[in-house]
Structure formats: C-alpha cells, structure tokens
A and B are shown apart, each in its own frame.
Chain A
Amino acid sequence: MGEAWLCPACGAIQPLPDAPDAPGAIDDFACLGFPRHLQLDERLLAERFHERSRLVHPDFFQTKSERERALSLEVSARVNRAYRTLRDPIERMGALIRLETGQREIAAKAPADLVEEIFELQELRERAREQPGDPQLRERLKMEQGALRQRLAELDKELQQLSARWDRAVDGGGADKPALIAAMRDRLSGRQYLINTIDDITITLEGRSDAKDRRH
C-alpha cells in the first residue's frame, strides 16, 4: 500500500484520494495498511507509521518538483492523522463507526434509565453544592462516583469483547456487523455520559463551580 504512493517507474509521489466518499478513498486503517480491525498491535502500528512517514517525509522531497513537495506535505499530514486516530482505541472505534455508518455523529440516544439516573446524580450534586459542609452528602457523592468508575471499567471490558467479536466478523465475513456497530455506538454514548458525570462530581467535591459550556 505504502508503495502505491510512489510511482513504480519514476518514484514520484502520487496524490491521495482523500475525500471520504471518493472511489478508492483511503481511510485511516488503509492509510497505515491495516484491515478495519479494532484490536491493533501497538508496536506494529507504530512501526507502520514510522515506515510510511519516512517514505513520504517532506525532507526527502525538497529537491523535487513543486507538485511533489506539496503532495509530500499533504500525504504526511494524512499519515499523521491516521496514526493519531488509530493509536487510541476509543478514537479508533469512533473512526470505524463513522466509516461503517457514513455518519459523522457517533453518539446514539442515551438510554432512558441512564439519563434518569444521571439526572438524580445531578440533583445530588446540586444539594452538595448548596450545603458544602454536609459530610453525608460528600460521602454519598464519593460513593456514587466510585460506582460510576466501576461501571466505566465494566463498560471498557465490554468494548474490548465487542472489538474482538468485530475482528472475527471482519475476518469471517460480515454476518452480524451492523448489530456490532450498533452495540458499540450504544456503549460509547453511555461511556461518554459516565465520564462527564464522573468529572462533574469531581468538580463538586473539589468545591469548584461548573465552568459553563466547557464541553461545547
């Protein structure tokens, strides 16, 4: 794949079909020569990245034509972006979901029971904010936060299992691919909600006031 960026006859760098819906478009996975797998070996990932970065690095094109210089910048930026995305398992999953669904938004609707629970936690935070000296409220908040962290850990384990199942589906044909993607979207939405609420509770426990719009 990496070789395809250089013309086999003259070694000149070739443009990358980068528009996401262009025929033969290069996605983050293909960009670094991986199938759309979710369990990627970190060392191999770094190796491929360095290999490909060297191949198209602008330093090697300084004496080449203006077109090749521009292309090496463009392709290098693309390779960097792919590596940044694939390096983080959650970002990687997000990229996969975007590719498979063709939608930019990853978040699904949050499940109703989770939303209700979070609403109650926010009310608890409000009470704790209004009575900062109340030790019982603080204790409850800490307990709830611990429970959320526990759930986050369980969710991450579930995501790992889903990743393994996805990779098997890719290798053996796409039988239950859409169902797996839907499950991942669902878990990722819940995950983001848990993380935001854990952070919110930390803010209250530290006696800070909410920074409005920090997440927007």
Chain B
Amino acid sequence: MSTDPNEIEITPEIIAEHGLTKGEYDRILGAMGRTPNRTELGIFSVMWSEHCSYKSSRVWLKTLPTEAPWVICGPGENAGIIDIGDGDAAIFKMESHNHPSFIEPYQGAATGVGGIMRDVFTMGARPVANMNALRFGSPDHHKTRQLVNGVVAGIGGYGNCMGVPTVGGEVNFDPAYNGNILVNAMCVGLARTDRIFYSAAAGIGNPVVYVGSRTGRDGIHGATMASAEFDDQSEEKRPTVQVGDPFTEKLLLEACLELMATDAIVAIQDMGAAGLTCSSVEMADKGGVGLELDLDKVPQRETGMSAYEIMLSESQERMLMVLDPAREDVARQIFAKWGVEFAVVGHLTDTGRFTLKQGGKIVGDIPVRPLVDDAPSYERPWERTEPRVQLAEADAPAPNDMGEALLQLIGGFDGCSRRWIWEQYDHMVMADTIAWPGGDAALVRVHGTRKALAISTDVTPRYCFADPVEGGRQAVAECWRNITAVGATPLAVTDCLNFGNPERPEIMGQLVGCIAGMGEACTALQFPVISGNVSLYNETNGVGILPTPAIGGVGLLKDADQRAGMAFTTEGETIVLLGETRGHLGQSLYLRDVLDRAEGPPPPVDLARERRTGDIVRGMIRSSLATACHDLADGGLAVGLAEMAIASGIGATIDLPQSEIAPHAFLFGEDQARYLVTTTQPEVILSMADASGVPATVLGQTGGTELTVNGSLTISVATLKDRHERTLPEHMAGS
C-alpha cells in the first residue's frame, strides 16, 4: 500500500483511462524515449486532450481569418486583443463550460465565468463586461428547470461577486440539448495598449511564482472529461467539477492589476483547464525555455497530494507568473496586502525540459517541445450535410389567426423575454452599462471616455443543423448586425464551437461546414476571429447536440451619444424596413413554434448585401436620422415590430406593401440583412437607401397603444408585453 503511485506499471487499461489511443501512446514513447511514469502520462493526456490540443479542429481553425489592422493579438494567447484607439485596447474571449455545468450546474457555470475572467485579466485587462450563450434542453424535460436555475444562479453568483456586470447573452431551448447543455461564457476587458501581458517565459533562472487559491483534488481530469461523451453514469463525474471562490478571484484580480502597474512581471498565464500542467508548459514552450517546479512548494489545500494530483488538479483562482527577480519583494508585498497566497515554486532553465521535483526526487521530466509540438492533429473524415429541399408553399400555410401566431412566437421559449434570467445578474455594476440586456447588443462605456463597446453573442443552431455553411455565415452576420443596430462598428469576434463527437463523419461535417461559413462571413465583413474555444463530444448515448458555433462579437462606438436602442422613441414617427423581404419560412421560428415543423433550408445570407445594408444603417444612427433601430432575426418582421413596441410601450400601425408574398410569410419570414428603423425624415432615409442600392419600404407610423398590421392583426401592446414577459417566470415557478 505504500507503493509510489508514480511507479505503477503503465498498462493498456491505464492508457485508455487517460483517453489516449494506442497511436497517441506510441507518440509519447517516441517523445520520451522511454516509458513515462504515471505523472508524465497524466501530463501528456491533458496536454493532448481534445480540450487542450484542438486535435480534431486545428486544421480547420487555421482557415479562419484572424487579422485586421486593429488586431493587436489573435488566437494563441489567453485572449484576443483589439486596438480601440487613444491607447485603449479591448481584450476578450469566450469559452465553454458545458460538461461540468450539466453535472453540477451552479459550480460548473460559476467556474466557467471565473475562468474566462482570468483569461482576460491575465493579459492586463480589467474585466468590464460578461456575456454568455446558453442552450438548454426542452423546457419540459425533467432536468431543465434545475439546470436553468443552477446555471443562472452560478453565472450571477460569480460575476456579481466579482463586480463585473453581466450585460447580455442568448438562450435557446431544444430537446437536442436534453443530455448536454451548453454554457459558453464571454468576458471583455479593457487595458492600455502599452500595458499588455503575454505568456512567453523568458530569463533563465527567473523565479516561477504561483499566486491564488491553494491546489486541491478538485477538477482532476476536467479537461479529459470535457473531451469525452456522456453516458448514463456521467453524474458520477461530479468530483471532476471544480468549486468556485469568486471572493478569492476578486482579490486575485485586484492584486494582479496592482502588480501589473509595476514592471515586475515577465510572463503570466492563468491556470485553467489542466491547471499547473498547461500553464507551465505553455509558458515554457512559448518562451523556448525549460521550467523546473518544486511541487513541495506548491500551496496545497490537502495533505498527501501526489505529483499526479498536483499537476492535474483544476482548482480555480490560480495564476502562474515569471517575475523579474529584482522585483520579487514588491510582488510579494502586493499579494500580502490583498491576502492572496504567493509562492515561488520553481525557476526557468536552459534545459528545454519540464522537470518536476517532489520530496527531493525527480518525479517527472519531459522535453517541452514534443509535449506541445508533437500533439496529435487529426484530419478526421467528414461528410457534407445534405442540402435541404426548398420548403413548398403548401408546407408553410398561413395560421388561423395571425395575432395568435405572433403571441405564440413572442411568448414561446425561444422568443420570450429573458428578464427572469438577467435580473439575477448585476448588469449595472461599474456604472458604465448604457444598454442593458434585452436589446440587440449591450453597450458598455470605456470608463472616463466618450467611447463605448458594443457586445453581442449569437448563433441560430437550427439553421446550422439544416445547413452548417449557411448557419456559420448567419451566426457571424447576425452578430455583426446586432452590433450595427446600436450604431457601433463591428471589429472582431471570439468563437465557441460546440459540437458532438468529431469521430462521427456527419458531426465532423457540421464542424467543417460551420467553420467554412464563419470564415467566409468574417472575411466579407472584416470581422476577424481573435480568440476562441472548441467543445466537442457534446453527446449523450450517441445523440449529439445541434451544431452550435456561438459567436461573441465586439464593436466600437466612438461617441456613445450616437447610439440607438430598439424601443420606439416617440409617437408619430415613420417606421422604415431596410433590406429585402422574400418571405423565407424554411427553418423559421414560425415553422417550428406555430406549425410544429422543421423543414427547408435556412434563409440564405448574402454577405455583400449584409455589409451594404449594415453600413448605411450605422450611418443613419450616427447622424440621428434613425431614432430607433432593431435588426430582424427569429420570428421576422412581426416579432421585430412587437419587440420595439414592447420595449417602449408605444404601438404602431403598419400597412404591408403590395407584393406577391403572402402576408404571413412577409410577417414571419426570416430573410437576412434586414433592419427596422424609425425616423422623422423618411424621405431622406429612402433616398439614402436608394443611393446605396438597399431596398427600403415605409411600413407605417408609431403611436397608440396597439400594434396593428392592417388586414392581419391588432394586439394591444399590454397584451404583447404580458405574453412576452410571463413565460419564463411562470415556467420556472412550476415544478
């Protein structure tokens, strides 16, 4: 019983338990030149897990555009960075915490939020906004309420305590997520461009310093869990879920930012997935140096932890830094003031090896380069998703009652108000949130300036399932449109690619297709991908989720006063529809929620048209021609009008233009690249649109207490609001 766990013989069973294939183990033998011990095997397994190595997606991720003149740092660091002028930089990233959130929703979601904030403040930024993209199973599934409650409370519990506002997000419900919910958390931070911190270690002999919470046995194998499918026994994986401590993270944040104001830090990296292993190896690899750790010096929460456990723990709220030795004392004092643990745990070497000592013995010794560079990369076989046949008109008939159909959409689980969720998030702390959740994009001022960042997260999974390429395009286009609709210039995105098992060619085909569509849209819209994350194996018992490439976009408003909201601002203004309406009902919310069908292709995205339309809309907002603006998405024109009315309490009277499109298709079709604006100068708007070749149609006037579409529907704004607001609170209060 006193056998050193490190000396256990490496059997095929142990290799399989670590999620490694025979071929991958052979690569390890090649890299090591000998049989690894258990700690070394564990280190390889997490570094080469899907979660850390992107082995199934890397070849495809490389095809995404990552550059623009304003990009300071693209993928590969803790987060991406863009220049927003005047020496300010925005630093952001989105990441998944899907598997842990299904098993333990509160802690899974909370630590997802904590982890993404660390990614951002590691680089020198103060986090200023959190966002999220959430997918749950069917509202009636027996686990859904508990999962929604836990995830929302967890996101709030962590972000609220940190004092970082959660300013928006998106939520969908679909049976495809019954066994695998998605919790994607995004954080946006602000830094000065001359105070950005990177992870490449430098300076042989420089101290490697551990700060933050102590290391415990929680989260061991988290990255491996996130790289496998679920089965009926998955809840037994609860011990691999980490427990969050937002108070410690708040202190860690303040201490790190205070230290970053000095010149003590050479390199810094947070400990996220694969903890101490991943942070040390990445810092050493990026700097081309070796790194030696004395595990006895690692602050530990429990006694008797083995090297294996210390290296694979995913305890939260920890950072690793390389310091200028001359300033070690300055750093130590700052962390003492904030009451945060500070320990020199190793130093940089010129050996090119990652060396671990414990109890005076070497317990691990791995060459750094092969550990990173020899990580497997697979071109997995993939199948193109069969295109859907066009929806026949007879398959999308008009509803019996147009008004009731609209109420069904705005009261449905994907169309209803998310207020029940976002009122549990502090969306106002830091006193710079000037557009709250519920609008097209959130707006957060750059503190002390006239500038504001616009932020939106978007994807329409049912589109991606029907046509991954079109769905990938649409996710990016919708995000770009949402940022445009508040008046901001879209600048860059982070992505969170959530898919099923990539070893199945049809799933791999979804991933390949979505990335292709995203890449096209990012290029056409000059909206590069600067950071992101891939979450695969979102399957339970062989059933995958809908392909869900969530896009988190950031834009800049140079003058925060030149913004638009979606609420009608006053009575008697003219409502203009910009963009072309064809009445596309394939894959629409109307088809699904009213007719209970899911056929046809998603609406096509014309990227040139998208750009042309968005650019003139932005101009109209900035010149105050457009007094309110809303992009059209799920539920089409009717839902867009209803949302503008609900947000303002002001009604509208609409006359649909003469056309061959059936009224229900005009009202509920989900044609892309469309916006509604209100104005007092419709003739100017029409001539501007005409000059740019963008179709524009005067639809009617704001005013009154009802939304009327002549010949189709009349509903009081109060009724619309009631149906929109009631759904989630009532459902969540049920049992």
A interacts with B:
no
A interface residues with partner B (beta carbon < 8 Å): none
